[in-house]
Chains A and B, each alone.
Chain A
């Protein structure tokens, strides 16, 4: 599905750097939440963004996705600056985020949550919604939505209100909602937190499959280091607003600065990957 989106670009895109974050600074009342953070996300990769609480990971996500504006620094996505785009324009460009607290639309059905995210919907225009055939696109989208729901084993909840789902199920719905928007790059904010071990494995498995099959790149904030290290190609480590290290998982485990940042919880990094 992404081939068409990628094919038409006139701009020369550095394929190794889908997202380039340079020297981002974001202060809240004088305190720097993000302090000259620099980060690259390679096209087609799963890149993990790890770091202690308060390191600035979510703030960085907010800036990249257009929900917050940086005080300084640049965000380039597919070679173009997106630092001043509003969130909906960022999403339409194919950069879709999820939220740490899943933001499912509770009074919409599970299926409607997905259909909402679908692209190219003529029925979203008032006048076209009045014309006959405005529901036709819904039928195409519905097929795709049900596939995605099956992917995370929510297909039998399609007609339930999203508000009746468990916390873990909401995380899964949030994940496939992002996929429904036909993204090139998905920012996942702690997709595993609060998800039980079975669903956790399922989500990790789907993450790898989607990356392999759909050409989608992922940038993932996660505290479950064992899990995230297993699936990621690159790891970026944030501490006190800065990215102190970026490299392959193996190198991350050995980097003294990283071990230092976790202050003795180095076991968590070296550890075998059993979910904590």
Chain B
């Protein structure tokens, strides 16, 4: 429990989920878009980056930018074809889209490495890596830190710092635009689309913009996920991941940008933490059973939260009660 490696892992999970859920916060918290396929943005960005580096020899930086661009393009595609649908039908389209993406990743083995994941990008017998330059840079930064200050930082601690730095920067950006007229228009659309259009707001264009921004942020989370774990498979992008982002959002309070990091920390603690809960009486269960325990605990926590604080930890109760 007191192992620093454990807390680093909690922090890394929380940081990536904070960024990932922030994308959903823009889409749902601000614009009211019910996106149940958010994980697709993450998958598309991560895979695009890995494929471009390994198969096409692109620089890792450029490939990361293209990865995020691909996530945005996919978001626009879904939006242009489906945003005119009613909210619940739109949700169905998004979850279908994310499953189509995952199945393509699983089955186009020649392009994606298939179920083996990115390690199989060059075919069997050859381990593919897309983050050599990145790891080199991280190594040099660690040397600089240790020679400059005499403190040895592990790779994961450095990544933890970097991921939360990105998360903080993105949170500030989203917070800023959400309190500006840009955010006011989105909140108006979330409340009543017709009322917004009756005072001259282009509802469709605005929703598309929110969708694209959310996809870009989730794409960024995908790139960081890929860089952190050096290897991933289509299984990392199951629909469950989307719903974990929803858990983060609901825990923190969907309408509050500042609720996202808090929700992510709580989620990280539960998600990663329960894996290490090996004290009595939990030690009576074997570790595989304990892994399921975390889902049960998250579920119970959500039920409790919905009962006592339906607005989320940082949400405004008053807003929930308005009719």
Contact surface of A with B, Cβ cutoff 8 Å: 65, 67, 86-88, 91-92, 96-99, 103-108, 112, 115-117, 119, 121, 123-126, 129-130, 134-135, 137-138, 161, 163-164, 177-178, 180-181
Most chain B CB neighbours (cut-off 10 Å) among A65, A103, A106, A138: A103
CA distance A182 to B272 in the complex (A): 55
Given A91-B197, A161-B322, A177-B199, 10 more A-B residue pairs with CB atoms under 8 Å apart are A65-B198, A87-B198, A88-B201, A88-B203, A103-B194, A115-B184, A116-B181, A129-B177, A129-B182, A134-B181
Q: Which residues of A contact B192 (CB under 8 A)?
A: 103, 105
> Nearest chain B CB to A89's CB is how many angstroms away?
8
Kindly supply a per-residue 1/0 record for chain B positions 145-163, scoring 1 wherever the CB is within 8 Å of any chain A CB and 0 otherwise. 0000000000000000000
5 closest cross-chain pairs (CB), A and B: A163-B322, A103-B195, A123-B181, A129-B180, A91-B200
> Nearest chain A CB to B141's CB is how many angstroms away?
28
Kindly supply a per-residue 1/0 record for chain B positions 173-192, scoring 1 wherever the CB is within 8 Å of any chain A CB and 0 otherwise. 10011001111110110011
Q: Which residues of A contact B180 (CB under 8 A)?
A: 123, 129, 134-135
CA distance A130 to B202 in the complex (A): 20
> Nearest chain B CB to A172's CB is how many angstroms away?
16
Q: Which residues of B contact A86 (CB under 8 A)?
A: 197, 202
Q: Report whether B177 and A108 are in contact in the complex, using a CB–CB cutoff of 8 Å.
A: no
Decide if B196 is an interface residue (CB 8 Å cutoff): yes
> Nearest chain B CB to A115's CB is how many angstroms away?
7
Q: Which residues of B contact A125 (CB under 8 A)?
A: 182
CA distance A91 to B195 in the complex (A): 11
In the complex, 5 of the A-B residue pairs with CB atoms within 8 angstroms, ordered by the A residue number, are: A88-B197, A88-B203, A106-B322, A116-B181, A163-B322
Q: Which residues of B contact A130 (CB under 8 A)?
A: 173, 176-177
Known A105-B192, A123-B182, A126-B213; judge A181-B199 contact (CB<8 A): yes
Q: Which residues of A contact B199 (CB under 8 A)?
A: 91, 96, 116-117, 177-178, 180-181
Q: Report whether B191 and A96 are in contact in the complex, using a CB–CB cutoff of 8 Å.
A: no
Q: Which residues of B contact A92 (CB under 8 A)?
A: 200
Decide if B81 is an interface residue (CB 8 Å cutoff): no
Q: Report whether A112 and B184 are in contact in the complex, using a CB–CB cutoff of 8 Å.
A: yes
A-B interface contact total, Cβ < 8 Å: 100
Nearest neighbor of B323 in chain A, beta-carbon distance: A163
CA distance A78 to B213 in the complex (A): 38
Q: Which residues of B contact A129 (CB under 8 A)?
A: 176-177, 180-183
Q: Which residues of A contact B183 (CB under 8 A)?
A: 129
CA distance A150 to B196 in the complex (A): 23
Within 8 A of A (CB), among B53-104: none
Decide if B126 is an interface residue (CB 8 Å cutoff): no
CA distance A163 to B187 in the complex (A): 14
Q: Given A103, A115, A135, A137, which contacts B198 in the complex, CB threshold below 8 Å?
A: A103
Q: Report whether B323 and A138 are in contact in the complex, using a CB–CB cutoff of 8 Å.
A: no
Known A67-B194, A103-B198, A106-B191; judge A116-B185 contact (CB<8 A): yes
Decide if B3 is an interface residue (CB 8 Å cutoff): no
CA distance A137 to B180 in the complex (A): 11
Q: Report whether A105 and B182 are in contact in the complex, using a CB–CB cutoff of 8 Å.
A: no
> Nearest chain A CB to B45's CB is how many angstroms away?
20
Nearest neighbor of A94 in chain B, beta-carbon distance: B200
Q: Which residues of A contact B203 (CB under 8 A)?
A: 88
